[in-house]
Amino acid sequence: MFITLPDGRKFELQEKQNGHDVALALSPSLAKKALAYRLDNELFDLAEPIKNPGNFSLVLNDDPDALHLLRHSTSHLLAHAIQNLFPQALFGFGPAIEDGFYYDIDFQSQVVTDADFVKIEAEMRRISQQNVPISRRVLTREAARELFSKNPYKQELIAEISEPISAYQQDNFVDLCSGPHVPSTGFIKHFKLLSIAGAYWRGNSDNIMLTRIYGTVFFTDQDLKDYLYRIEEAKKRDHRKLGKELGLFMISDYGPGMPFWLPKGMIVRNLLENFWYDIHTEEGYQFIKTPIMLNKQLWEISGHWLNYRDNMYVAQIDEQDFAIKPMNCPGGILVYKSELHSYKDLPIRVGELGLVHRHEASGALNGLFRVRAFTQDDAHIYCRPDQLLSEIQRLLKLFDKIYSVFGLSYHIELSTRPENKYIGEIAVWDFSEKVLAEACSSLGKDYKLNPGDGAFYGPKLDFKLRDSLGRIWQCGTIQLDMNLPERFDMTYIDENNEKQRPVMLHRAIYGSIERFIGILIEHFAGAFPTWLAPVQVSVLPVNAQYHSEFALELENIFKANKIRVSLDASSEKLGYRLRKAVIDKIPYALVVGDQEVANKQVTYRRYGSQKQVTVSIDEFIALIKNEIDDKALLAVDD
């Protein structure tokens, strides 16, 4: 029996050879580094015998699946250490997650806190240093029940698992698991326990509350240090904390998940909206505003009443059911249908900053990231099939143009037809997916295929933004809709005077104004670029008695030039007022003293710099105006 190696060579297998045997035959050093093997895209433990021919590759540290393997194995190492330290503990399950792992544990009557992390980590290190082999056992259901007879959580899981059932053992610790895992505990070296929380067993609030311990692990100490640094930075950048400190927004118990925008936050919001309107006007969009509440019949036609009813706010008006809109699309379609359209009218590009409401679970609410009331930067494009490629290309360029202003890079994911729940003909899906892929390729844009994750009504491109800490955010999307044009009987008249269906593109770039502002707060750590800063200049007279008159003159000059300015002439010492300008993250602090009054000049200090620069008033106005007009990410003298 032969397997095919990544370079195309054939390798003849001897009876019962496993992945480690193949690695050893290829290179002893390779065998020491290998974590698992892949056969025809399925992962196996390195010690698992190779049972059939296929394409074979070894999983090393740089493999896309390597970190997941390491993290899952580390969750077992955590449970192993806890079993040694807290013998009465009962284990639920412990998966790998993005950026780490967790384990849900019933400590019975014993209270465990993050103060116990030091001794738990010490025990994890001890087990790691022993380099204990991790081996797989295949069990019958009865054998599994016997093995985990004292653990009701495992018993519940065993009842739901099809035979054969697998478990993994390392020394005296055994866990129910499908695997695969790294070969031994010696591969697990650079880990850190992060936090502790309560979690209902299997996420059901009717079940017992378990203790969930979160952690992370990497292959190198430097990667771990870099991640821990990003976590600390993320805490400092938390948009909920900064939003309060900078006076941007608030949340009230009288409206959970419904942000209140404060004066400074409204400046940021209005600037983003004005930028959106300006750039879309240049791109040939028209703008509409649709009602916030519409009749149930509309939502029945769109399918929301059947598929989304639990997330909608409803009310009765004149003995009829109405719903507050969770999406803008149906209202926009009514605008399209309000008049006849010729093929010559298309494409029609229509934008709406529409306020929508969705009933999210209270436990899921999170600052501006998960809310119940938010404004989507929706736009819908109605075009002919022959215009589809050029419209998507145009959209991709627009996404680039907007995201680059904020210094946000991204990658694209193309989500294709779901395996079962989809509408429309497969041929139409194939055409639509091909057009989306071709649009990306034609502009040199790489994309990751996300098979089966398209919406039921059509494929889509999702834009995953990367911020200054390397975190990924889902924001923009381009969705190709085969559903609503049919449901709403949307038409245009073609050159033969016959009715045809337009193609409908849904797209959002910010995603939602609220969430995008939350991302920007954390991306910039609250220190917005000058064009977006609520206050752009702080004027600070050294001595109010002697310097306030000129400071007031400067304030009026800046206001006349549409520069957002605050005058701090309080009795506090200059050092205190300078620190306050820094805490408020104001881009420019201007100190006004004897020299500035005498020479009619300004001395400025830019946020993040100790350097003081003295220039004429006109020079400073030109400098800051250029920075604002260019929407510069950094000050012009950087």
Catalytically active residues are 329, 358, 376, 378, 380, 460, 506
Give the integer Cα–Cα distance in Å for 45 and 137.
12
Helix (H) or strand (E) holding 245: helix 239-245
Helix (H) or strand (E) holding 624: helix 617-629
Whether 23 and 57 have beta carbons less than 8 Å apart is answered as no
**Could you tell me the two tokens for 368?**
């501006």
Q: How many CA atoms lie within 13 A of 3 on its CB side?
A: 25
With the CA atoms of 75, 79, 84 and 87 taken in that order, what torsion angle do they form, in degrees rounded to the nearest 10?
Answer: 170
Give the integer Cα–Cα distance in Å for 568 and 198.
46
Residues pairing with 11 in the sheet: 3
With the CA atoms of 282, 284, 289 and 295 taken in that order, what torsion angle do they form, in degrees rounded to the nearest 10?
Answer: -150
**Could you tell me the two tokens for 423?**
């509408």
**Could you tell me the two tokens for 599?**
């020479």
DSSP string of 294-347, one letter each residue: EEHHHHHHHTHHHHSGGG--EEEETTEEEEE-S-SHHHHHHHHTTS--BTTT--
Whether 603 and 596 have beta carbons less than 8 Å apart is answered as yes
Give the integer Cα–Cα distance in Å for 623 and 561.
12
Alpha helices in 465-573 (DSSP H): 484-487, 513-523, 544-560
First-to-last alpha carbon distance for the chain, in angstroms, is 64
529 phi/psi in degrees, rounded to 5 = -60, 155
Give the integer Cα–Cα distance in Å for 194 and 216.
7
Q: Residue 587's closest CA among 527, 519, 517?
A: 527
Give the integer Cα–Cα distance in Å for 354 and 359.
17
Question: For 36-164, where are the E strands, in sequence order?
Answer: 36-39, 42-45, 56-59, 90-91, 96-97, 100-106, 135-139
Give the integer Cα–Cα distance in Å for 417 and 432.
10
